[in-house]
Amino acid sequence: MRVLFIGNSHTYFNDMPEIFAELARKKGIACEVTMITHGGWFLHQHQKEPEVRFNILYGHYDYVVLQEHAHPFGPKEDMLEAAKAINQWIQEAGSTPVAYMTWAEKTNEAGQQKMTEAYREMAEQLGAVLAPVGEEWWQYKQAHPETEMYAPDGEHASETGSRLAAEILLRVILEHDAGKGLTADRPAQTV
């Protein structure tokens, strides 16, 4: 499995894509990940970068994970417009888009609703796999109040938070694969 992650620090903190790859390998799935991330970037900035288009079109990725700027969460319309433009390359490459829903700040649980709605709309408009990390983040946080999900800044993920994000992303991708007639137990293949 080859996966391209496009986003910002909510993707690269704790090298979350590598955690994702390690989890996949533990399930017997050969996995290679690539990241195009810049701190504080919005998807519309990635849309303008030639390296993004080039990587999507020529990287032979199975999945392309899209993550928007989170704190503050920007205008939904800008996110959707950029995601649609990037998705044209994803479709041309024969890859599958994944909408990586992030989480609201530690002191702003109410802010999650806006992010949730925007990512659900993105997934619907793109025909993308939805990774509802933000929703499940708050559920986990409430069920395990003793576990620190945030880095000291109250915005980024702790290592535990990054692991949860990676687990959710892998689960939804494997569920998508299973729906296409593949299984999580398929033999590892050399990439």
Query: What backbone phi and psi angles, to 5 degrees, belong to 3?
Result: -130, 130
78: tokens are 């800008």
Confidence bin at 189 (pLDDT 50/70/90): very low
Q: How far apart are CA 144 and CA 123, in angstroms?
A: 28
Distance CA 97, CA 151 (A): 28
Confidence of residue 188 (pLDDT cuts 50, 70, 90): very low
- Judge whether 133 and 164 are in contact, CB under 8 Å: yes
pLDDT given at position 179: 80
pLDDT, tens digit (0-9, with 9 covering 90-100), for 54-99: 999 999 999 999 999 999 888 999 999 999 999 999 999 999 999 9
Q: Could you tell me the pTM of the whole model? A: 0.92
Residue matched to tokens 């620190």: 148
For the stretch 17-27, pLDDT in tens is 999 999 999 99
Check residue 74 and give its pLDDT: 87
Could you report the per-residue pLDDT of 24-50, keeping only the tens digit for each? 999 999 999 999 999 999 999 999 999
Percent of the chain with pLDDT over 70: 94
Residue whose pair of structure tokens reads 């849309």 in the numeric block:
47
